[in-house]
Amino acid sequence: MSETVAAEMINFARVLDELREPVAVCDATGQLIYVNRLARAFLGIAQGAALPGLNLTQRETFSQMRLQPAEDGREEYFLGGVSLKGCERETVSVSLAPMGDGNYRVLFEPETDARLAPIIDQIDALVAICDGRRQVRLANAALTRVLGLAPGEDPDCDLLDIFAPEERPLLRVAASRALAGATPEPVSTRLVGSDLPDGGELVQVRIRPIAPGEGAQRRPMRGLVVVVQPSQSSLEELKRRFARAEELMSLGQLAAGVAHELKNPLTSILNYADYLLRKYRGQLFDPRDGERLQHIIEGVERIDRFVRDLLNLAGTEGATLEEIELHGCIRTAVGLCEVPLEQHQVEVCYELAESPLALLGHAGGLQQIFVNLITNAARAMDGPGGRIVIRTRVEDDEAVVEVSDNACGMAPSVLDRAFEPFFTTSTNGSGSGLGLSLVGRIVEQHGGSVSAQSEEGSGTTFTVRLPVLPTA
């Protein structure tokens, strides 16, 4: 090495040491050639120890990470999560600037700023801080809860993994544009891990670059801040649920009053009609009087069933919970539906999970779920040859029960209102419109969910999801 080159390197080293930022120089392979005092302290490199190398295997992503050219025309690149060997820090975020001689100026930056944690925890929206490779380095308390993590535990995953696969390409493009300094449009998607139905909560995701310094100290983008908020349609769904809850509350108050007013008179009418039928059967002046009394009894029993459904819909939270074996509960419910199944000539087939499924619930309520679904399916059959298939399986921590029929199916307008109280398509007065509402109510009380899929002419499938007890 000539004295001139050596002198230039000494002068260059002095210049770097005077900088108030952790700066180094590396060659094209990522091997550090020189680090200033702040960089040595930042990386934890012992005095006299060999300099580590940067793992620049992600250099193919430079085109995505390219920043606006500086005033002198040089380009700068940002990489997050770069691994190191031979020093205390395992990963760092760096910005690289070509020096024109095949080497790069390296500016080291922390992966995340711990001071942000208490700030973003105060935000109601879901917030994540990501590095330049989209790795989530910090999540606020709201996002941590939704993802099912322990307090203070960060996801430490790719940002895209939090959201539904269908929109991940759009999110990838949005993240790349934000890292390049642009302001991408919000992306509508679903949040994976949410407990809402249909695979998660519909949300809007806004991705922005973490603001660099200003003025002469302007720095490359260090990463991303991601804000996740409920979409407008999700808010409308919450409003609809709240309105339904208020409606059911009012319905419960009404049901309690109706029950007290009707129960005693109905019992008296039923008892007296049954007494007269048994006492004077075959002895009445008109043979049709027996049929008239029988119609009275049937009418009163129908009103009594309606009142019971109304009371059940109002709530049974006080019921004693016990361990229930799901398959036995389903078979009991099928046995209770023997009359409508024989009347409509419907066959019931089972495709049950091999292992028993244990639930914590109210036996009568669980049986009522399947009695109502099976009865509705039987009544929907147009003629002989009807078939109901009951399937069970386990998904994650839920028991999934599908009740499928080959009946006429439902039109979209009917399907949308299927669980609405008092809605019925029955024209002969056989339905009160409370059966499916009661199903939804009981399933919710057991911490589960119910949904329906139907196509006109192809039948209907109701899917019930209930929390399953862990196996020993």
**Highest mean pLDDT pick, 49-53, 213-217, 392-396, 429-433:** 392-396
What's the whole-number average pLDDT of the chain?
76
Percent of residues, the chain, with pLDDT higher than 70: 71
Residues 341, 463: one domain?
yes
Assign 165 a pLDDT band (cuts: 50, 70, 90): confident
Percent of residues, the chain, with pLDDT higher than 90: 9
* CATH number of the domain within which 351 lies: 3.30.565.10
Q: How many domains does the chain have?
A: 4
* CATH number of the domain within which 210 lies: 3.30.450.20
Distances (CA, A) of 54 to 306, 427, 444: 74, 76, 54
Residues 275, 210: one domain?
no
CA distance 308 to 363: 17
pLDDT recorded at residue 320: 66
SS3 210: coil
CA 438 to chain centre: 24
Of the chain, the end-to-end C-alpha distance in Å amounts to: 73
Six-digit token string for 106: 């390296």
Between 57-66, 261-270, 397-406, the lowest mean confidence (pLDDT) is in 57-66
Assign 384 a pLDDT band (cuts: 50, 70, 90): confident
Answer yes or no: are the C-beta atoms of 47 and 41 closer than 8 Å: no
339-359 pLDDT per residue, tens: 888 888 899 999 999 888 999
298-334 pLDDT per residue, tens: 777 767 766 666 666 555 445 567 888 999 999 988 9
Answer yes or no: are the C-beta atoms of 190 and 203 closer than 8 Å: yes
pLDDT recorded at residue 65: 46
pLDDT recorded at residue 316: 47
Assign 221 a pLDDT band (cuts: 50, 70, 90): very low
* CATH number of the domain within which 80 lies: 3.30.450
Residues 250, 223: one domain?
no
Last residue within a domain, chosen from 109, 127, 158: 109
98-156 pLDDT per residue, tens: 887 778 888 886 655 556 777 788 887 888 888 777 878 788 888 888 777 777 676 77
Residues 468, 346: one domain?
yes
CA distance 42 to 45: 8
Residues 125, 242: one domain?
no
Residues 330, 423: one domain?
yes
Assign 59 a pLDDT band (cuts: 50, 70, 90): very low
Going by their DSSP bridges, the two strands 346-351 and 386-395 should be labelled as parallel
Last residue within a domain, chosen from 270, 290, 315: 315
* Domain interval for residue 431: 316-472
Greater pLDDT, 373 or 119: 373
Between 17-21, 222-226, 229-233, 466-470, the lowest mean confidence (pLDDT) is in 229-233
Answer yes or no: are the C-beta atoms of 110 and 201 closer than 8 Å: no
Distances (CA, A) of 263 to 130, 256, 266, 308, 421: 63, 11, 5, 10, 21
Six-digit token string for 398: 């839920």
CA distance 457 to 453: 13
* CATH number of the domain within which 269 lies: 1.10.287
Model pTM? Answer: 0.43
Residue 30 carries which DSSP code? S
Indicate the Cα dihedral angle 156, 157, 158, 161, nearest 10°. -140
Nearest residue to 446 (alpha-carbon basis) of 367, 361, 373, 363? 361
Name the strand (E) or helix (H) holding 323: strand 322-325
The number of beta carbons lying within 10 Å of the beta carbon of residue 204 is 16
Last residue within a domain, chosen from 41, 76, 109: 109
Where do we find the tokens 């309520």?
365
Residues 436, 334: one domain?
yes
Which residues is 84 bridged to in the sheet? 54
Average pLDDT over residues 247-276: 69
Kindly tell me the sign of the dihedral angle through the C-alpha atoms of 125, 129, 135, 140: negative
Between 17-31, 149-163, 204-218, 287-301, the lowest mean confidence (pLDDT) is in 204-218
Question: How buried is residue 297: exposed, middle or buried, by Cβ count under 10 Å (0-12/13-18/19+)?
Answer: middle
Residues 145, 44: one domain?
no
pLDDT recorded at residue 352: 92
Residues 362, 385: one domain?
yes
SS3 402: strand
Residue 108 carries which DSSP code? E
Going by their DSSP bridges, the two strands 126-130 and 224-230 should be labelled as antiparallel
Between 236-245, 269-278, 333-342, 344-353, the lowest mean confidence (pLDDT) is in 236-245
CA distance 223 to 79: 9
SS3 296: helix
CA distance 342 to 336: 12
Angle at 357 between CA 351 and CA 358, to 5 degrees: 155
Average pLDDT over residues 216-234: 65
Residue 311 carries which DSSP code? H
Flag whether pLDDT at 403 surpasses 90: yes
CA distance 281 to 448: 49
Residues 163, 211: one domain?
yes
Average pLDDT over residues 420-443: 71
Residues 243, 334: one domain?
no
Helix-, strand-, coil-residue percentages of the chain, each rounded to 5: 40, 25, 35
Answer yes or no: are the C-beta atoms of 389 and 351 closer than 8 Å: yes
> Could you tell me which residues come within 8 angstroms of residue 369 by beta carbon, excluding any fewer than 6 positions away?
333, 439, 442, 443, 450, 464
Residues 179, 73: one domain?
no
Which residues is 203 bridged to in the sheet? 189, 230
Flag whether pLDDT at 369 surpasses 70: yes
CA distance 237 to 248: 16
Where do we find the tokens 């002095």?
14
